[in-house]
Amino acid sequence: MVERLIVIVLFEGVDLLDVTGPPEVFSLARRETEEAAGYDVVLAAEDTAAVTTAAGVRVLPDVTFDELSGRQIDTLVVPGAVEVDGERRVHPRTDPAVVRRVKELAARTRRVTSVCVGAHVLAAAGLLDGKRATTHWSTAQQLAADHPAVEVDADPIFVRAGDVWTGAGISACLDLSLALVADDLGEDVALRVARQLVMYLKRPGGQSQFSVPLEQVSTTRRVEDLRHHILRHLREPLTVADLAAHAHVSDRQLTRIFKSELGTTPHAYIESVRVERARHLLESSDDTLERVASTCGFGTVDTLVRAFRRRLETTPAEYRRRFRRAPHTG
């Protein structure tokens, strides 16, 4: 049996689910394989005093960082913590002492992972330089601004860059942990664990961590009107010229508005809305791919497929197979 030491970093204010989610997955993997997984999960902190999480629940560490000295770590899990200011803006916490400990532990770890805004700790430790990474969508822009050497992708649920894995929102810690189990023990074991967790399925990393309606809301009525106009006329070509005429601005000005307000181009935003609509139809209807493509304004199935590969790293047919909701039988 391969022994795999999983170390989860603890510190004050850490998000509780970031800490408790991964151990549940690894524990079930052991049960599903009759302990053949060999996972040994420990919670590590600066000392053995109880750590108060963001939820107010206190957690006791199993070991101190110093007690791990000399031990070879299989997987290091770095959870996240945030502070919220008076205007309800979220700021990730990166305590220098925690960053230093993570950097030390990572040096003797086979695989380093972060959950949610824990990616900011990895970045501060220099572990994401030159790598593609994700984090919670609300702090992705800050991660990119603070660490230009990191290729930040705010969309996926998790990202693997060699031996460094980063996860998105808090609940995505389960998806990330399942992906680690699949990497160690195979897809079949990971799917059995997902069923035990009563998760609908094991989501692929390429799945978007949020849908179009949850994207940043614009601060101007003009852009909000454009967004609603796009949703109402999704079947139509929706060229830059069409949208500019609707908004009574020039083509160039429209492009500048989208870039400043939504951080993207009109073409990219329209495609994201179309993919989102197509996802919903693939999950909830029996429409043919031809009908889905037409309804969402892609025109052809080939265009639909290319958009799905670009945005979700999968095909519409594969997406439907994975995410089709069973009809309600009442």
Q: What is the pLDDT of residue 330?
A: 39
Lowest mean pLDDT among 30-39, 165-174, 254-263, 279-288: 30-39
Q: What is the pLDDT of residue 329?
A: 40
What b/e readout covers 204-229, taking b as 16+ CB neighbours within 10 angstroms?
A: bbbbbbbebeebeebeeeebeebbeb
DSSP 50: P
Q: What is the pLDDT of residue 57?
A: 96
Residue with tokens 């009525």: 221
Q: What is the pLDDT of residue 217?
A: 46
Task: Give every CB contact of residue 329 below 8 A, 6+ residues apart in sequence.
Answer: none
Residue with tokens 């609908």: 200
DSSP 104: H
Lowest mean pLDDT among 25-29, 112-116, 171-175: 171-175
DSSP-based three-state secondary structure for 237: coil
The per-residue pLDDT of the chain, averaged, comes to: 87
Lowest mean pLDDT among 189-203, 244-258, 277-291, 298-312: 189-203
Residues tagged active-site: 116
- Amino acid identity, residue 11? F
pLDDT digit string (tens) for 43-93? Answer: 999 999 999 999 999 999 999 999 999 899 999 999 999 998 887 788 899
Compute the 3-state secondary structure of the chain and give helix, strand, coil in percent, each to the nearest 5.
45, 15, 40
- Would you put residue 7 in left (φ > 0), alpha (ψ -120 to 50) or beta? beta
Our CA angle for 305, 160, 7, nearest 5°, is 145
Q: What is the pLDDT of residue 174?
A: 87
- Yes or no: say if 77 and 9 are a contact pair by the CB < 8 Å rule: yes
Average pLDDT over residues 23-43: 86
Average pLDDT over residues 213-230: 67
